[in-house]
Each structure stands twice: as C-alpha cells, then as structure tokens.
C-alpha cells in the first residue's frame, strides 16, 4: 500500500485525444513514470488495435502494458493490485506517478483507493446461468446492484462474471466490507478536452492509418497463435469487428463502417463516464487538446504544486 505523501497525476480523456503524448511530456519534465489505465493495452500482441504507440514513450518507463497474454481475462481486482505495486515501485524511486488512460472504471477505482478481494470461480452458478440471454442476465444483475455503466453487460460472459462477484459479496459480507475504499490524497486528475468534431475526425483518420499499418494482419496472427475468436470478440471494438471480418461474417466495408461507428460510440460512452465521475464528486481539470506542450506541462505543474 502506498503512502499518500507524494502527488499522483491522472491524465484521461476520450480515445484519440492525445493522452499518451501528454503523459510522456509530463513524465519527461517532472521525472515521472507512466502507469497505463487502458483495459486492453495490458495484452501482448494487441498493439495496433489498442493504440499502444509504444514509440511515443521513448526513454520514459511505463507499467501495466504487455503484462498478460491475449486471450486472458484480466479483471479489476488484478488491475488495482498491479496498480498499487507499480505505484509503490515508482514512489520508492522518488519519481512522479503519471497514470494515463481512458478506461474510466480503472481511473475512478484507483482514485477511490478501492481494494477488492479476489473472487473465485463459481462453476455451479456459471452453469445455472449459461443458457440465459444477455437481457435476462442484465435483469438479474440489476436486482443485485445499481448499473452505473454498461461494462458489466457488454457480453453474456461479462454479465455472468459480474453476477458471480455480486453473489460472492452477498455470501461473504466481510469481503465487501474489506473492499471499502480509501480515496487517494494528493491526486490531480487532468482531462484532455477535445471537441466532438475534432475527436470524430481524429478517430476516423487513426482507424484508416491503423488498417493501412496492418491491423488486419495483427488480428489474423492472434487467431493463428491460438487465441479463440470468442476471446477476441470479447475484447470488443477493433478485435470484434476484425475477427468477424476474418471469419467471413462481415465484408470489408461492413467491418470498416461498423467499426468506425462503434469507436465513435465508445468515445461518447467514455465522456459520459467522465461526466458521471464529476457528478460523483471527482474533480477533473479539463485542458484543451490543442494546447502547446509547454503550456500544458506548465499548467499541470501548477496543479501539482497546489497538492504538494
């Protein structure tokens, strides 16, 4: 567990807003290391589709990228555990922790100081839910907890896992009590604010570039390496649509158009999450996406000084 004496910076925002470049600039100026808060950049071999852009980091150390194999089902418990470890290592080196990513669940949970117990598989429960539709699973889950987002109900697998976790908490109330959060002190959250039209243009341009750079071949290689189509579809967006294309279930144009729309919708959901965070009491300092690096880093430096 990390002490809260040092400032910790979170840089977030929707996809294609330029978060990584900003985080690298901040880490370089203030002697920091970066912890990713992206739920798909964790996976090895999933590079173009997740926008890792590892060349942007240069000599800046980064954490929680490429730490598990594609096909694995990494979860929030693991993220919070690994986040705490990475943060402790960074602070022990006397460096600034810069958390960068657009997975709102990870960002908010880390800011809350949430710590979750490891919830084991419940094979009997999974079997009893296996023939239920996503709609039925969503209904069951909604009776167990308030659904603040759609992450838990993106797929039947995720919904079953969410029900499994809530069932565990009901049967082990002491585990839920131990998960009570201790909000981080000295945390500064900066959002990269990009207008909708500019965001849409960057998303469309980036999709075209990544397809031209070999994103289809990346997904084909994952399939050739033994990652199942179901597992790739589970990851959503690029991996869902490109897998369906490679399976012959979508034409190239259907894949392209459907994926472009899905990414735009995803960015909109990200912004909905961030606005929800603000309503839940989290301060996000929104800075324009097209500021110069010098302006951006100077403003962030002043924000960090105010919590030091």
pLDDT number for residue 224: 97
pLDDT number for residue 177: 59
Contact 95, 33 (CB under 8 A): yes
Q: How far apart are CA 116 and CA 144, in angstroms?
A: 17
pLDDT number for residue 151: 58
Q: How far apart are CA 237 and CA 233, in angstroms?
A: 8
Please determine, for residue 4, whether its predicted confidence score (pLDDT) is greater than 60: no
Contact 31, 96 (CB under 8 A): yes
The two beta strands, 96-100 and 8-12, are parallel
Q: What angle do CA 288, 289, 290 make, to 5 degrees?
A: 95
* Burial of 265 per CB tally in 10 Å (0-12, 13-18, 19+): exposed
pLDDT number for residue 173: 75
Q: What angle do CA 46, 52, 55 make, to 5 degrees?
A: 125
Please determine, for residue 308, whether its predicted confidence score (pLDDT) is greater than 90: no
Smallest CA-to-CA distance from 260 within 215, 193, 204, 195 is with 204
Q: How far apart are CA 230 and CA 224, in angstroms?
A: 14
Smallest CA-to-CA distance from 21 within 192, 140, 194, 252 is with 192
Could you tell me the pTM of the whole model?
Answer: 0.84
Contact 199, 16 (CB under 8 A): yes
Of 57-61, 86-90, 141-145, 281-285, minimum mean pLDDT range: 141-145
Of 126-135, 165-174, 287-296, minimum mean pLDDT range: 165-174
Average pLDDT over residues 181-192: 92
Average pLDDT over residues 170-185: 74
Of 94-98, 157-161, 221-225, minimum mean pLDDT range: 157-161
Please determine, for residue 41, whether its predicted confidence score (pLDDT) is greater than 50: yes
Half-sphere exposure of 199 (CA within 13 A, CB side): 21
Q: Does domain 8-116+180-305 have CATH number 3.30.930.10?
A: no
Smallest CA-to-CA distance from 106 within 71, 81, 141 is with 81
Residues pairing with 69 in the sheet: 44
H/E segment holding residue 96 = strand 96-100
Read off the pLDDT band of 256 (50, 70, 90): very high
Residues pairing with 190 in the sheet: 11, 285
pLDDT number for residue 149: 56
Annotated domain spans of the chain: 8-116+180-305, 123-178
What percent of the chain is modeled with pLDDT above 90? 79
Please determine, for residue 3, whether its predicted confidence score (pLDDT) is greater than 60: no
Please determine, for residue 166, whether its predicted confidence score (pLDDT) is greater than 90: no
């Amino acid at each position: 567990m990390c002490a809260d004496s040092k400032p910790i910076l979170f840089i977030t925002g929707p996809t294609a807003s330029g978060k990584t470049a900003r985080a690298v600039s901040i880490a370089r100026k203030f002697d920091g290391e970066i912890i990713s808060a992206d739920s798909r950049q964790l996976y090895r071999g999933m590079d173009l589709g997740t926008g890792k852009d590892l060349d942007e980091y240069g000599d800046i150390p980064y954490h929680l990228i490429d730490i598990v194999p594609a096909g694995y089902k990494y979860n929030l418990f693991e993220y919070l555990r690994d986040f705490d470890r990475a943060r402790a290592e960074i602070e022990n080196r006397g460096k600034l922790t810069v958390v960068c990513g657009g997975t709102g669940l990870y960002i908010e949970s880390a800011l809350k100081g949430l710590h979750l117990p490891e919830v084991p598989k419940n094979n009997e429960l999974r079997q009893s839910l296996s023939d239920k539709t996503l709609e039925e699973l969503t209904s069951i889950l909604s009776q167990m907890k308030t659904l603040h987002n759609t992450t838990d109900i993106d797929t039947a697998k995720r919904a079953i896992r969410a029900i499994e976790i809530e069932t565990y908490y009901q049967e082990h109330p002491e585990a839920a009590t131990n998960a009570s959060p201790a909000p981080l002190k000295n945390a500064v959250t900066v959002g990269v604010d990009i207008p909708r039209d500019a965001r849409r243009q960057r998303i469309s341009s980036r999709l075209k570039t990544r397809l031209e750079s070999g994103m289809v071949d990346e997904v084909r290689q994952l399939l050739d390496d033994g990652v199942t189509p179901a597992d790739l579809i589970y990851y959503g967006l690029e991996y869902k649509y490109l897998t369906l294309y490679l399976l012959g279930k979508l034409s190239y144009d259907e894949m392209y158009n459907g994926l472009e729309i899905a990414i735009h919708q995803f960015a909109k959901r990200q912004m909905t999450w961030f606005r929800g965070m603000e309503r839940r009491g989290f301060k996000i300092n929104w800075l324009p996406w097209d500021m110069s690096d010098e302006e951006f880093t100077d403003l962030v430096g002043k924000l960090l000084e105010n919590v030091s």
